[in-house]
Each structure stands twice: as C-alpha cells, then as structure tokens.
Structure 1
C-alpha cells in the first residue's frame, strides 16, 4: 500500500521554501532545487530518484519549450537561422574543442576529453528559458541569441549520442549511423512544417466548434505530446518537438487561448523537473572530491562564458548583448547528465571523474539564477560600451524633448498610449512618449510619432524627457509594480506634477493613489461605466442625467462599482486575487449574535468592510447608516477582501 506521507512532505516543503524565496526576492527555481535536495537521497530521502520521476520532470521542459514556441513563428525562425546555425554551431564546436584540448594537455585521455567537452558545450534549456521568460527578456536581443543557441544544442545532442558509442567500440558504421540520423531529422522536420501546418488549423477549427473547454485542453495536450513523441522517435529531444508544436500553433488564431490553458501544467511539471535536479545533489560526493569538482566548476562557468562571448563577438554581435548571452548560457545542461551516464556505462570516463562532472554540472545550474540576476550589474561593470549606449539613449531623449514645454509625458506606447497620443494631437497638445519595445519605437518613430526608447522608471530618463517642464505624466500600461517605481521617481522630482495611471481593476486604486497618482483609471470600471451609460440611454434616461451619474461615480473613485459577486467563470484580473475587493452576503439566521444591534455598534469599518445594502422582506435598503438595527433573516451585502469578509461574517454570526 502506497503512503501519501512523502507527497505531503514534498508539497509542504515546496510551499514553505517557495514562499520564503518570494519573500526575499530570490528566483523560485532555486527554491525547487532546494526542495529537491531536502526530499532527495542527499537530504531526508523522502522520495527516490526513479526513472518515472525523471520523465515526469522532462514533461515540464516539454511544456516550457512549447510555450516558448508560441512566441515564435516560422518567419521569425527563418530570420534566426544565422543565430541557430551560426552562433549556436560556433559555440558548441569551440567549447567542445577547447575543453578537449585542455584535458589532453593536462594528461587526460582524448575520449574522456571529448566527452567532457560535449557535456560542457550544452546549457540548461529549462533554466535559461524559465529565467528569461520571468525577466521578460525572451524577445530582447540576448534572449533571442540564447534561445537560438539552445535550439542548436538540442540538435547537437543527436550526433553526440551516436558518436560516444562509436568512439567506445567499432566505428565502422559511424558514417552510416550519422547519415541515417540526419535523414530522420530532415524527414520529421519537413513532415511537421509542411503536412503538420496544413492539418493543424482545420483540426483546431473542428475542435473549437464543439465549444468544450475540456475537449480543447485535451486536444492541446494531444498535439504537444504527440509531436514531441515524433521528434523523440527521430532521435531528437522531446523539448525540440514541443518547440516545433508551439511554433505551428502560433500560426493559428488559437495561440493565446492555448497559452493560457497550458500554463498550469507547465508551471507544476517544470517545478517538479527542478525538484528532480535538486535530488541529484550528493554532499558526500562533493566533500569526497571537493578539489576536482571545484576545478571543473572553475573551468566550466567562466570558461564557457568567455568562449560564448568570443564567438558572439566574432559574429559581430554587440558587446553587451554578447556578454548577456554568455552569462545566461554559462552553466551545464540537463542533457549533460545523459551524456555523462552514457559515457560512464561505455567506460569512456572513470567513475571519479563521472561523479565530479555530474556534481559540477549541477552546481553550475544552481549558480545560474544568481548569475543571470546579476547580469545587468556585471554588464555595466565590464562593458564600457553599455555605458556609452545608455548615454547615447539619454542624449537622444534629451535632444528629442528639448523643444517641448508644458507637454504630456506618456509612459508606454502600446495601444492605449498610441490612442492617447492621437487624441492629444487632435487638440494640438504637445506630447513625448517613452517605451521599452525597440521594434515598436522604431516603427512609430519612422512614422513621425514623438516616441523614443527609454525606461520611464529611471530618474535620468524622466529628466531627459523634460519632466521638470511637463504639464502631466500618464502611465498607460497596467503594471502596478512598474507604475509605483515611476511614481516614486516623479514624486521625488516633481511632487506638483499631475499623474494619471492606468490599472486593470479596483484592486490597486488605493495603493496607486497613496503612491502619488492623482487619477487612477481602472479598465474594468470604465468599461462598466460605458455599458451602464448605453443601457441607461436605451431605457430612456435623459443624457444629462446619464452624464451626471457617470461623473458622480468617477468623483467617488468608482465606489459604486467596487467589489462584485464572484463565480467560477471569473478570470483573476489581479496578480494577488486575495486582496481584491469583492461583494459577499451574510444571512442573519435566528440566533445570530448581531441581531438587535446597530451597525454603528458592530463597527465593521474597523475590519475594513463596508455594508453596501441590507435586504429584508419589505425591500432593500441601500447604504444603511450607523443607526440601522439588524433583524433576523436580514441579508447583508458586504464589500471587502476575502479575508476581511470572513472576519466580518464571524463577528455578525458569532460575535467574535
């Protein structure tokens, strides 16, 4: 009989450690790795590192690469061929040869040197793609370079897996094996990109017409896993197949729905993958071969970064992008474990070197989140041209804005920012926009729009944009964290400047206003106002009354619309759902502690809860005052967060 105790212990450790990581602003990935060590053979040995658990973790990588594939398209991949087959091939070949030559020079066997070089040439697809996605750097130049190199590394695993057995034994069939593998790869890729692309869209149409979310989700899983399985049959990795599946679906109109549906599977299983990696850490092996492991790590991480930087510069990529890519890829990869295990079984690597190599690859993977997190600081420290680039950007902003006075600074030039700019231009109002999307800035600037590339959260950028001369500052993107940073800078430099902020709903209105926003425009609330105004006019309410009502609601900061009755079909509109205000009802059944008391005596305001209405048999009382006396069978409509509503219900029913 199986026990749930290990599973409960793992979940308990995961929740505790990940919560701690979030609190101290450390990547959650490190938490999963730590959980793996705690529950694995090197810790409390709550779970064994079986093949089944390893495979389940690999499925997490599959869904991660599938999500990345959704961000790409076939034209985009064709445009990246120089990165994949140029930069990627250069990195793999140079790294492999450099490690091999170094090992032979130190007196090692050539075959062992080849194996260690192949292991060093590979990076962690899971770690790099996860961190780049979290840091919103996937579409940045170094993000594209990193993903391109990782794709070639996945392709390079195939000949490596063929070469190792051939080098260990009879190499007579090596050429034939490589030719067959190459033909299989070409055949599968041609099949997927020609036949697959033609079949996928009509098949998704058939599934979508059934109007079943469950069927749609099953179909997504079927497509993802079946294409991954096909590439595995061809000798390629599951992750590469998932990437191809994502690219194929990205060409359809179902891309965004698929991305939303797949996220829960991806995050949970990818977390499990990192737990399985953490389970590999063996402190006893580390202590026994400390100096050998130290030497391997000292060569692997900085050596690989130097090689990657040199190769990228050879291909004439900018120094700062080359260094960011080098630091992102300066770790061993999950396929390195496969190569080391295979080489050990074939006798190409001595047991001591095998254990040291496994431990050093694992340590390099543990170092990677810290290294990537410190990348901006290291780039500024090591690359002088990065300072020059920043100075050039500031100079461009300063030159573009110096002729503007009493203008509007628009932070974010997406759809909302562009719509605002057009309205201001219609009124002949001066404006200046900042945005962090280089492609959008380039296209908009070419069309004559007053927009430049710049981070509005930085003091120097806002000053260069003419903050001291501006008449208003508008934040047009719904990102509370970024908005608070801009508010802090603007309030320090120009506390008198009116600031208007966009947000999704009412959950962060008070926070943004406390941060210095003069007006907070909530998308959901404004949408509700427009719906209400059209409905009122359709029902015969005069236009002046409708406008007066809308103005009244806005002046009251949407208090009429604050909170709503939640259902299972509601999407979470805020990052922290528990903090959102919502409406809740409490029935005062006979015997409830609050019956006969006035609302003022209960002081629900101290619990951060408002009484919006009380429903009785005689009718509905809107906004009852403090003198209102509660009776049996009253239904109170309350507004507050989930936690505060629970406390209010306890007070009303039990008096505590």
Structure 2
C-alpha cells in the first residue's frame, strides 16, 4: 500500500469515527450538534470534561468506546502523516544520491541547460533515441516532475559552475545552452567553453545580432528559433507538400521515418565499396542524401560510383526499422 493510500485510509477512518461519535452523542443526550462536536474533540484529545457521577450507564459506555477508538484512529492518522513525510524525505534523498551516481558514471553525454519548451522537447527527443543526457534547471517543481519520469537532472542555476560540474561537463560531448535570455546564454557558453575546450556547444539565441556574440563566446552552432520559425512559415506557403512530408516524418509516429548519421569505422565492410555496389535503396530501403567526408567535405546527392571511405558520415533517410537492420548488418 502506498503512502497516499495509507493517509487516505487513515483520514477515512477518522472521519467515520467522528460522524459516528457525534451522531451517537446527539441521539443519546438530545443536546445540540455543537455540544456533540465539543464532546468528541475534548474526549479524543484527552482534555476531558466535567462528567458527573450520575451519568447514565449507556453514555458512560459510549464515552469509553469513543475514547478508545478515537485515540487509536487519531494516533494512526498522525503516524501515517509523519511516516509519509519522513519516507518522502528519505526517498527524495536516495533518489538524488542515485541520480548523482548515475551522472558521475556518464561520459560522452549531452547537457541541456534549461527545461523550458525547447529543453523539454530536446529531452523527449533524446529519450526516444536513447541518447544519454543530463538536464540542468533551477525550478524545483520541474526538476521533481522530470526526475519522476527517470530524467537525469541537476537542480541548480546553470550559470553556476558547480551545477555544470555536477552535470559532468568535463566528460560531456555536447552542450546545449537553451536558456531564455540571450545574455545568459552568452555567459553560459563562455563558461562552458572555459570548463571544457573540446566540448561541442549549441546555443540558442532570440535576436539575430546575438549569433555573433555567441560564436565569439565559443558556440560551435547557434539556433535562432525566430528565424527558423519564419523560414518554416515561408516554406509552408511556397512548398506546402514538401513541408507536409517533413512534418509527417517528424511528428507522425506511424511512419517511423528518421534522418540519421551513420559513421563508417575503418573496419566497416562498406569501406572501399561504391554506392552502386551497396545499393542502399534497392537492398535496404534507405535513401542516401549525402556524405560528409572525414576531411570536412560535404557531398550532396553523391554519384552512384562514389566510394565510401573510413570516417565518412552517411546522411541517410529511412524507416527506423530499416536503419536499425542496416546498422546491425554492417557494424555501425
């Protein structure tokens, strides 16, 4: 039985004893309802009342019954409340400690600063892709809700170095500055870059003029939601069908389509083969959109005779199941 169920049960029992005691006293004495309530309170609390010796036996027996049952129920209710409060504190402390230990063992993860609308969407996407990540947010209510869903979260100010270190910034691979204020994101980007020079930093900016400042502070990539939103709206007007397809890919879970990067290690059997020889679309139902060479060159819609090399990142579009089978078949 959960703590809430025990509390509910105790309160129900207390309410039942109260109703029975007050109603019974009212019937036996014929007094007012206020007197009956007063009788219950002073009897159960142990204060006592001036009861004369010529009280009818039935009322004396009834008083004994109310005292015994009332003391038990009130004691049980208070015990359940205290137990629930103590258990809540213990479980919270154990949960934070366990979460801290899990974060300490993470490496190569992503840190999301800010659990606003953008941060929550990022967390949902990473969770669906089983990508390890840690969230930093100072809102205790949001942190409690996220922790209940199994999200690794550090409750604290993201601008504080201690919070960043607690999230494992020294071992992280990607850092996302998604705070609401541009000034805070600039400061946060600068702090993160100083703590981990090798970190890939993606920063959010509201104003286009902030992009330059974020890059100067150390951001590798800058996302401007207002600009992206405007371009998206323009695409809905000029390219409605293409936009609809992209929306279905992103939001329609029945399609289970995904755009994925597949990095080829040196031992991958694809290395040295051509796109024509592998026949991704014919054999694997995967559409190859581009290849990013290990040297940085980006090939869009590469020719069928293009050969794969070690370190290439294949940008492929396909259903999640087909992509998963392809990765397993070629050790990706």
Normalised to the residue count of structure 1, the TM-score between the two structures is 0.22
> Greater share of strand residues, 1 or 2?
2
Q: Report which of the two has the higher share of helix.
A: 1
Structure 1 or 2, whichever has the larger Rg, is: 2
Query: RCO greater where, 1 or 2, for CA within 8 Å and sep 6 or more?
Result: 1
